[in-house]
Amino acid sequence: MTPYEQLFENNKRWIQSKTGTDADFFKELSSDQNPDYLYIGCSDSRVTAEEIMGLGPGEAFIHRNIANMVNNVDLNVLSVISYAIVNLKVKHIIVCGHYNCGGVKAAMQSKDMGILNPWLRGIRDIYRLHKQELNAISDIAKRYDRLVELNVEEQCVNVIKTAVLQLSYLQTGYPVVHGWVFDIHTGRIIDLKIDFERILENIKDIYNLTGED
């Protein structure tokens, strides 16, 4: 059996493991979804969203792209955020980066990355905004780790800049936005404890889209 064919064997075993403990598992799974979490993470194969959080099918709405970016002209991520808030009414939006992120490292290389140039340009912008702090970190690996954290914080701010988030929070008090880093060396999830309320308040001068003060 090839590794590719093995996938279907794995699938059969997975079905057996689910129905073995709950005969109605797929009946319930197919009826609806009601996740409390929207997770926006990196496409990196080592950062398996549900697995690291201990969540199963139906428990998290997931969006992954290179370097967990929330780009304001990316219809994909913006549609996901809108659907998660308006239709699924998620309580928490998590932006999760990870140390050793190849996307973050690639963003800082002095070479033409093709289509990745515009995708990763936002990371160079974040570096420019925090150049003093980052350049003061002599250990290059630690400097990239810090850039990973700063990127997560900035992508959280990008979520908070959307009208759909602002309106929902004003009306319902949800969702709350969180910034995490997955420490790939230990498996630990680190909550960056971004101050959601303060960020929302601070950006209101310029990015308020609710029509309310």
Residues near Zn ion, by CB under 5 A: 42, 44, 101, 103
**Minimum distance from residue 180 beta carbon to Zn ion (Å):** 13
Among 101, 145, 156, 178, which one carries the catalytic annotation? 101
**What are the Cα distances from residue 180, in Å, to 96, 166, 191, 192?**
5, 21, 5, 5
To the query of whether residue 74 is one of the catalytic residues in this protein, the response is no
**What are the Cα distances from residue 198, in Å, to 158, 172, 195?**
14, 18, 5
C-alpha distance across the termini of the chain, in Å:
63
**Minimum distance from residue 46 beta carbon to Zn ion (Å):** 9
To the query of whether residue 42 is one of the catalytic residues in this protein, the response is yes
Tokens (6 digits) for 209: 């889209």
Q: Which is nearer to Zn ion, 85 or 154 (CB)?
A: 154
Q: Which is nearer to Zn ion, 35 or 103 (CB)?
A: 103
**What are the Cα distances from residue 64, in Å, to 47, 67, 208?**
10, 8, 27
**Minimum distance from residue 135 beta carbon to Zn ion (Å):** 22
Q: Which is nearer to Zn ion, 77 or 165 (CB)?
A: 77
To the query of whether residue 156 is one of the catalytic residues in this protein, the response is no
Among 13, 46, 124, 188, which one carries the catalytic annotation? 46
**Bridge partners, residue 95, by sequence:** 40, 179
**Distance, CA of 65 to CA of 43 (rounded, Å):** 5
To the query of whether residue 178 is one of the catalytic residues in this protein, the response is no
**Minimum distance from residue 103 beta carbon to Zn ion (Å):** 5
Question: Any idea which residues carry the catalytic annotation?
Answer: 42, 44, 46, 98, 101
